[in-house]
Amino acid sequence: MKRVCLIPAAIALLFCLSACGTGTDAPTIRPPAASTAQPVLPVPEQTPAEQAQPTTQPPHTPAQTDHYLSPVDNDQNHTAHPLVPETPNVPIDGQPTVQPDSYLTQGQTGSGAVYGTTQIPNTPATEPGQTVSTQPDGYLSGSSTGSDRVYSTTTGGGKDRYHTDPVPVGKPLPTEPQDQQVDTHKQYTCTFSIECATILNNLSQLDSEKLELVPSNGVILPKQTVTFYEGESVFDALQRLCRDKGIHLESSWTPLYNTAYIEGIHNLYEFDCGALSGWMYRVNGWYPNYGCSRYQLAQGDVVEWRYTCDLGKDIGGGNAW
């Protein structure tokens, strides 16, 4: 009995069925690719009333201004710069005002220095277009002296509380610095001079380092007119004069005598020309027996500062001591 091999026949049948598409498997379905487009929302229809209204824009809000920028620097195309502080108001002449000299009171040192600047009297503020008068305001009438000083009428009595001997009759009594009342609206004039001619007669006693400071004629400052305010003292005017002229001045306060004491002028000091040398002042030909802070000036006074080498005897002022 002959055997039949069925395996090749089975394989051939399966091949035929696959080629003819008669298989029972279902076709493969791929899902659609995901879309990246945004969904379109329906636009609600406007009512007739809404269509009638005009189209408006939101209100405009201006950008904040930087506190540290000037107005033009807030534009986008500008570079920011700090604001420049406003310049303080100054008088119309463009010069700052300086308070008048402060006056020494008891307890102050009164130390001096080299003066080369001028103090400017206080100037009242003005509005644009106004002018300030620098004239004396007509106070220099014949009856006005620029002083309410009191004159001595007697030689009796002893020394005052500041150890001052009685003032000669007819000479002005001292005005204490603490009682001084200065009116900077009233100006007067007097004359001042500074000299050290007596040193020329005592050169052998002079400190050798000071020889070059002594003028050949002994005159440090020739006689000249000086303006002062009502109520000022000889010391007040001397300070301002030395500042104006760039003349060295050094002083100290002496509480015992309630006055400033002049130690040196033009770098010439007391004791530079002997044990009895120093500075003295004379007003209208009289050497006051009290300090220059206590002598109140009056219109037309003639003030002389003189260096002595013999306690005033060589310049006619021996009685002042």
Please give the Cα distance from 198 to 192 (Å, whole number).
18
What is the full per-residue pLDDT of the chain (321 aa) written as tens digits? 445 555 555 555 555 445 444 444 444 445 444 444 555 555 555 555 555 454 444 444 444 434 333 333 444 443 333 433 443 443 434 433 334 443 333 333 334 444 433 333 333 333 333 333 333 333 233 334 656 789 999 877 889 999 999 999 999 999 999 999 999 999 999 999 999 999 999 999 999 999 999 999 999 999 999 999 999 999 999 999 999 999 999 999 999 999 999 999 999 999 999 999 999 999 999 999 999 999 999 999 999 999 999 999 999 998 765
Within a domain: 209: yes
Within a domain: 264: yes
Within a domain: 100: no
Q: Which domain holds residue 294?
A: 110-115+184-321
- Please tell me whether residue 296 adopts helix, strand or coil conformation: strand
In the chain the first and final C-alpha atoms are separated, in Å, by: 181
- Please tell me whether residue 286 adopts helix, strand or coil conformation: strand
- What CATH number is attached to the domain comprising 258? 2.170.130.30
Within a domain: 192: yes
Domains: count for the chain? 1
Within a domain: 254: yes
Angstrom distances, CA of residue 8 to CA of 1, 19, 165: 20, 17, 165
Please give the Cα distance from 302 to 285 (Å, whole number).
8
The pTM of this model reads 0.57
Within a domain: 260: yes
Quick one: which of 306, 82, 85 has its CA closest to 193? 306
Quick one: which of 161, 172, 165, 162 has its CA closest to 254? 162
Chain center to CA of 1: 143
Please give the Cα distance from 321 to 313 (Å, whole number).
10
> Where does residue 260 rank: exposed (0-12), middle (13-18), buried (19+ CB within 10 A)?
buried
